[in-house]
Amino acid sequence: MSKNHERIHIDEKNLCHLCVTELESIYAELDLTEAELEILSAPRQTITVHFPVKFNGTTRMFVGHRVKFNDARGPSKGGIRFHPDLQVDHVSDLAFLMALKCAVVDIPFGGAKGGVVVNPKELNAGQLELVTRAYIRAIGDFIGPFKDIPAPDVYTDESVMVWILDEYENMKRKHVPAVVTGKPLELGGIKARQYSTSLGGIYVLEKAMEKLRIGIPGTRVAVQGFGNVGENAASILHERGYRVIAASDSRGGIINQDGLDVPELIKHKKDRGALQGFAGARSISNDELLLCDCDVLVPAALSDQLDSDNAGKVKAKIILELANAPTKPEADTLFVDRSIMLIPDVLANAGGVVGSYFEWIQNINNDYWEPDRVLERLKNVMTDAFDAVYALCEQEKSVMRKAAYKIAIRRILYAEKLRGNL
């Protein structure tokens, strides 16, 4: 495997380092050819743009990126983020993961990612709109409903998606609602998109619980992170009869082994700006939450939260990764040794892109589904994906993350073969 990579002649600066390094063992097990390795090792298209924006008569230059990693299975799909530390190599890694995520749940999208190097907290709404529109003008020829479809990501929301939609339609001089997902309902969005990441994860969690013969009533859940995904997850779990015993945000966490009143907790967070101080709950740190006595642990915040130092102390029976990359590779093996089922992010939080896929379909067809139909299709897609990953995991006695990656890679390469590229 490593010898093959020594002979790759593609631009080293454009390599997806995640693809080449962290997945090397998987590539070796799949016995990939050099041609297959090359296809998986670099994005198909990397765009970096520099564009001026005038604020109150003063011009500032901004840098934006958009990476299309692979589109063999369909138009590429991926979020746009605004962040001061955005770097193109990290964007490339994220685009690759999006390609894998779409392939794992078997929807006809490839993977992309993009964004602007900017601190949105330093700009007002009007300035942020100017930056967004200028960025879209710079990359507008490279996106489109059958090319590359953006979505919300870090520090972007449905307002930013509206600016993208409007600017793109101004460029094309026609309505193109399917160019972007995560829009408001009034402009072609779907309600389920707002909580599809959380609900999709809960659908696969319940499949995992069936395998382990764990019932819902009284199952104790700890949720790390109380942003959109974590808050929605806690709310849905509470409604379905789980006992949410702990939750945390960036300021710290709270715990009550008898269970938290999640609707009241959401109100408390909105009023106070933090979870701590909630009546009847004890304050804990984020680190303590990860190790608390619970049945299900839901990391829904930052990356690299579970590692070799704390993995041996985790008490949960199931870990549901709603955050991106919350577990370091060495912790995966420790969880397997301890018979803890870890549902990897590439499967667990794929409900978001599935929701985006449904929005895109409805925009393309100008045919809007009833909410029950959306939720039924989301459940079917997510549970089918879980079944496929779990079956391969059992067959090969591997961790679920490796099984998910293998399924995704095989599907991407098969599409490339059908197109005659291999």
Residues noted as catalytic: 113
Residues 152, 113: Cα–Cα separation, whole Å: 10
Residues 189, 183: Cα–Cα separation, whole Å: 4
CB 347 within 8 A of CB 404: yes
Residues 294, 337: Cα–Cα separation, whole Å: 19
**Which H or E element spans position 110?**
strand 110-117
- CA within 13 Å, CB half, 369: 22
Tokens 């958009």, residue located: 66
**Which H or E element spans position 169?**
helix 158-172
Residues 302, 69: Cα–Cα separation, whole Å: 24
Residues 91, 81: Cα–Cα separation, whole Å: 10
Q: Terminus-to-terminus CA distance in the chain, angstroms?
A: 18
Tokens 């069936």, residue located: 210
Residues 86, 115: Cα–Cα separation, whole Å: 7
Residues 239, 221: Cα–Cα separation, whole Å: 13
Tokens 């005038």, residue located: 54
Q: In the numeric block, which tokens belong to residue 189?
A: 């969005």
Question: Mapping DSSP to helix (H, G, I), strand (E, B) and coil, where does residue 152 land?
Answer: strand
Q: In the numeric block, which tokens belong to residue 347?
A: 């499967």
Instruction: Kindly give, in sequence order, each residue whose CB lies less than 8 Å from that of residue 2, ignoring residues fewer than 6 positions away.
Output: 24
